[in-house]
């Protein structure tokens, strides 16, 4: 894919009912931010990042036009906000899943009257994008699939349902219990019934199996990227790896398999050649906490312009996205396969669950695997599940001799200098 | 029961491991607050309130000593924090349920290192009471039963479990679905198994039925109190009615049936006689929102010293505690009965559920039933479920011509003057 003159997307955006004036403002800001964070502040980037740069450069264009074409052919577009909604099921029904979380406070003006002040930046942003008609992906969706992973999102679906069809999947709270698993499987069946109605398609074991194989392959490519980050030679910046994860949430899975796969090939080669993006003695940071939706690159940018490098993200836009996996995809019926799907998703350790000791174990394991010199626990303000866990985790990790810094922030730039000071002090201590 | 010289409770408190110094400070403050709020600021109180005044006057004494005696006879004390944990099941197993929520920020010093700043006052207080060893009820419990009604509490159980045995009942999120009901019943069975182990008793249909009858009768007495508040003549202040509800959470059910029943008799008589605590043209306020744990009387006190009266509370320490009821208690097996229990509890409309339109219907119905002139939507800061609902509810109620004021606050006294100003302006508008 080569970067050429962008087509005129205005007719499409107008057809989608976007607020063109606000949308123009949004698209005016993004290139400068991207250039400052990704282009000017980095050297020796992998060539394979060219594709991802291109995707950002045309963020509301080519992918949206693909969705439009698919929609014209009768395919349904399904918006999701959390990795607990299995893409496998959506694609198996020949629909297209698009992750819709928002990573900038630009859109907050459209949601501020609908939400309390004390709610997380991600929810404010996502609702603002949708309700403010500045997100063509949201505008393209036929239905939004919510979940019950946190109080804020659970109640946000009620607001969104005044604007769009919304279906909520009840995700479990005590996931390790057999009754929670049984309940989750019933909920997935409810989702299937809903999606069958919307798509007019019927789920079969064959279709589900095929979709499971494809999404698994997609996850495997992301896993390959992360594997290379464990090496002494770090072949990709944290910022770039984060961008790859962020784009995985809404790009076409087949293209993702190809392009992330290509990047993984390159990174594996780089590791062999010892061709890193930073010196091998650069301090290695593991980030753990709340997701970072595009274009939330704030923490990575501060860390990586302070002389350190992010080697892994124990987040939903990081390892939680791909680590849990099917042992083997086998089963004669959709029921058999759904058990595999449920177990794969229940294998993800999010702070929305109680207890969630496995997340702490994940962090400890990742510190070793990625040879991290320190951990930054990252919490979006007002995200109570991660906020509570960070207090206990910080104490335990410190006790075990792992340097930790806890950061609670949002999408504003007001605290950037303060964060930079704290992070630099932390890095000097390592 | 007559108020006599209080026994020396210090040996009991010391035996329970209370922090005597801090506990003394707490008990030093309470009588003055109670006197100012309940005694000095009210006239013509029902005689039946004498019992409840006595209970507050000896708040950590006689009831705790009863629990001690029960415990010495082998009965187990079960701490709960939410009305979704069925007292019926606990009492059926010959254990004693004690509601443990905290309503003062006095205890926050003991929990502040364990919790984020952005978490609701009730959780900070409850954890502080427990961990700070200043609550003899908490100290008396053999186990704490948590639930998954909100993010803050869900994660708080993880903290508490370092100090006490904790068992969590997964309460549903989308309660109107059959799979949620089935899951909740399984969770109640899990609770029964846990409690059977702890108590050494076995649940039978007969025992459960008997406990259901008793707790139902207890709820009926509270309902009688509230019924009298619908009358033109208001026979009890909101403050006093709130206190009755608050004490219902931890007092002996048999005594509650008797004493709340006596009070109800008196109030019914007062209504007949036209003997109100305020003039009949006093503005009538319905409060709706988050629970008010003892001694949180802040909002009621401001309203009722501003010339209005609270006629009902659509809260967990109000109508949510008793409105949902068994149609008839019948069933041959514990399984039959558990379905009734589940349905009774799932009939309560808390903001923890999605959707929760029925709560709005409850408010509208109650405005009519209690002839409310206005509604105050009350939210404890950082309680996201109620915070989000209040925004939408305020708009809808206003559209229907019902005056509404939204208040978000905590247990501090810092905003009292500001609240008083806002509430007085609201009352003048009615």
- Concatenate the DSSP letters of all residues of A362-423 into one string: HHHHHHHHTT-SEEEEEEETT-HHHHHHHHHHHHHHHHTT--EEEEEE-S-STTHHHHHHHH
Q: Choose, out of B113, B153, B183, the residue to mutate when testing the contact with A (most A CBs < 10 Å).
A: B183
Q: What confidence score (pLDDT) does residue A58 get? A: 95
Q: What confidence score (pLDDT) does residue B294 get? A: 96
Average pLDDT of B185-194? 98
Helix (H, G, I), strand (E, B), or coil: what is residue A9? coil
Work out the pLDDT band at B253, boundaries 50, 70, 90.
very high
Neighboring chain B residues of A354 at a CB cutoff of 8 Å = 148, 154-155, 157-158, 168
Helix (H, G, I), strand (E, B), or coil: what is residue B161? coil
Please, are residues A311 and A153 in contact by the beta-carbon 8 Å criterion?
no
Residues 6+ apart with CB under 8 A from B187: A179, B169, B170, B171
- ipTM computed for the complex: 0.96
Tokens, residue A104: 């900038």
What is the residue whose two structure tokens read 């940018």? A301
Integer Rg of chain A from CA: 21
Q: What confidence score (pLDDT) does residue B5 get? A: 73
Tokens, residue A135: 């997100």
pLDDT in tens, A396-430: 999 999 999 999 999 999 999 999 999 999 999 99
Alpha-carbon distance of B113 to B127, in angstroms, equals: 11
CA A146 to chain centre: 15
Q: Does B158 touch chain A (CB under 8 A)?
A: yes
Q: What confidence score (pLDDT) does residue A210 get? A: 98
Q: Which of B151, B354, B387 faces A118 most closely, judged by CB atoms?
A: B387
Q: Does B182 touch chain A (CB under 8 A)?
A: yes
B147 DSSP β-pair partners? B169
Q: Choose, out of A84, A118, A354, A396, the residue to mutate when testing the contact with B (most B CBs < 10 Å).
A: A354
Sheet of A77-80: strand order equals A96-99, A77-80, A143-147, A166-169
- Alpha helices by DSSP H, listed for B61-135, are 62-72, 87-92, 121-131
Q: What confidence score (pLDDT) does residue B101 get? A: 83
Residue A114 Cα, gap to closest chain B Cα (Å): 6
Portion of chain B with pLDDT greater than 70, in percent? 99
Neighboring chain B residues of A390 at a CB cutoff of 8 Å = 116
Work out the pLDDT band at B21, boundaries 50, 70, 90.
very high
How many CB pairs below 8 Å do chains A and B form together?
136
0.95 cut: is pTM over it? yes
pLDDT in tens, A353-402: 999 999 999 999 999 999 999 999 999 999 999 999 999 999 999 999 99
Q: What confidence score (pLDDT) does residue A17 get? A: 97
Average pLDDT of B396-425? 97
Q: Which of B172, B389, B408 faces A170 most closely, judged by CB atoms?
A: B172
Other CB atoms within a 10 A radius of the CB of residue A422 amount to 16
Tokens, residue A124: 């404010």
pLDDT averaged per 10 residues in sequence order, chain A, 430 residues = 74 98 96 97 97 96 97 98 97 97 94 95 97 97 98 98 98 98 98 98 98 98 98 98 98 98 98 98 98 97 98 98 96 97 98 98 98 98 98 98 98 96 98
Burial class (CB in 10 A: 0-12, 13-18, 19+), A429: exposed
Q: Do B170 and A168 touch (CB under 8 A)?
A: no
CA dihedral B361, B363, B367, B369 (to 10 degrees): 70
- In the 8-state DSSP scheme, what is residue A156? H
Q: pLDDT averaged over chain A?
A: 97
pLDDT in tens, B53-69: 999 999 999 999 999 99
What is the residue whose two structure tokens read 């264009």? A61
Q: What confidence score (pLDDT) does residue B1 get? A: 45
Q: Which of B183, B186, B382 faces A118 most closely, judged by CB atoms?
A: B382
Q: Do A354 and B155 touch (CB under 8 A)?
A: yes
Alpha-carbon distance of A186 to A180, in angstroms, equals: 10
Q: Does B114 touch chain A (CB under 8 A)?
A: yes
Average pLDDT of B338-343? 98
Neighboring chain B residues of A180 at a CB cutoff of 8 Å = 170, 183
Q: Choose, out of B154, B187, B399, the residue to mutate when testing the contact with A (most A CBs < 10 Å).
A: B154
Tokens, residue B290: 């988050």
Q: Do A388 and B156 touch (CB under 8 A)?
A: yes
pLDDT in tens, B73-108: 999 999 999 999 999 999 999 999 999 989 999 999
């Amino acid at each position: 894919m080569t970067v050429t003159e962008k087509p005129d997307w205005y007719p499409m955006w107008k057809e989608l009912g976007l607020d063109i004036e606000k949308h123009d403002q949004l698209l005016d800001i993004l290139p400068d931010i991207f250039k400052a964070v990704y282009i000017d502040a980095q050297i020796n980037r992998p060539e394979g990042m060219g594709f991802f740069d291109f995707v950002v450069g045309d963020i509301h264009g080519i992918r949206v036009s693909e969705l439009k074409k698919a929609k014209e052919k009768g395919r349904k577009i399904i918006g999701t906000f959390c990795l607990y909604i299995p893409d496998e099921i959506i694609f198996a029904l020949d629909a297209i899943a698009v992750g819709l979380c928002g990573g900038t406070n630009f859109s907050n003006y459209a949601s501020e009257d609908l939400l309390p002040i004390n709610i997380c930046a991600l929810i404010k942003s996502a609702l603002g994008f949708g309700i403010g008609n500045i997100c063509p992906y949201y505008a393209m969706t036929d239905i939004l699939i919510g979940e019950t992973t946190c109080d804020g999102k659970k109640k946000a679906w009620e607001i969104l349902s005044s604007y769009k069809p919304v279906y909520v999947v009840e995700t479990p709270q005590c996931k390790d219990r057999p009754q929670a698993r049984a309940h989750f499987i019933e909920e997935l069946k409810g989702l299937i019934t809903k999606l069958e109605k919307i798509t007019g398609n019927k789920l079969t074991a064959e279709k589900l199996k095929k979709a499971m194989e494809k999404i698994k392959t997609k996850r495997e490519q992301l896993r390959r990227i992360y594997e290379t980050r464990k090496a002494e030679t770090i072949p990709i910046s944290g910022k770039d790896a984060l961008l790859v994860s962020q784009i995985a949430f809404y790009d076409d899975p087949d293209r993702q398999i190809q392009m992330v796969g290509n990047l993984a090939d390159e990174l594996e080669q780089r590791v062999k050649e010892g061709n890193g993006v930073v010196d091998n003695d650069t301090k290695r940071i593991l980030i753990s906490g709340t997701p970072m939706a595009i274009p939330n690159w704030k923490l990575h940018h501060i860390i990586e312009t302070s002389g350190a490098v992010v080697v892994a993200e124990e987040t939903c836009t990081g390892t939680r996205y791909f680590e849990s996996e099917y042992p083997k995809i086998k089963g004669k019926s959709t029921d058999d396969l759904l058990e595999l799907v449920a177990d794969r998703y229940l294998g993800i350790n999010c702070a929305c669950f109680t207890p969630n000791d496995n997340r702490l174990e994940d962090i400890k394991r990742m510190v070793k695997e990625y040879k991290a010199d320190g951990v930054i626990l990252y919490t979006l303000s007002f995200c109570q599940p991660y906020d509570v866990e960070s207090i206990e985790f910080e104490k335990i990790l410190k006790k075990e001799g792992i340097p930790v810094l806890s950061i609670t922030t949002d999408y504003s730039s007001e605290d950037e200098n303060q964060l930079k000071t704290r992070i630099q002090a932390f890095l000097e201590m390592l």
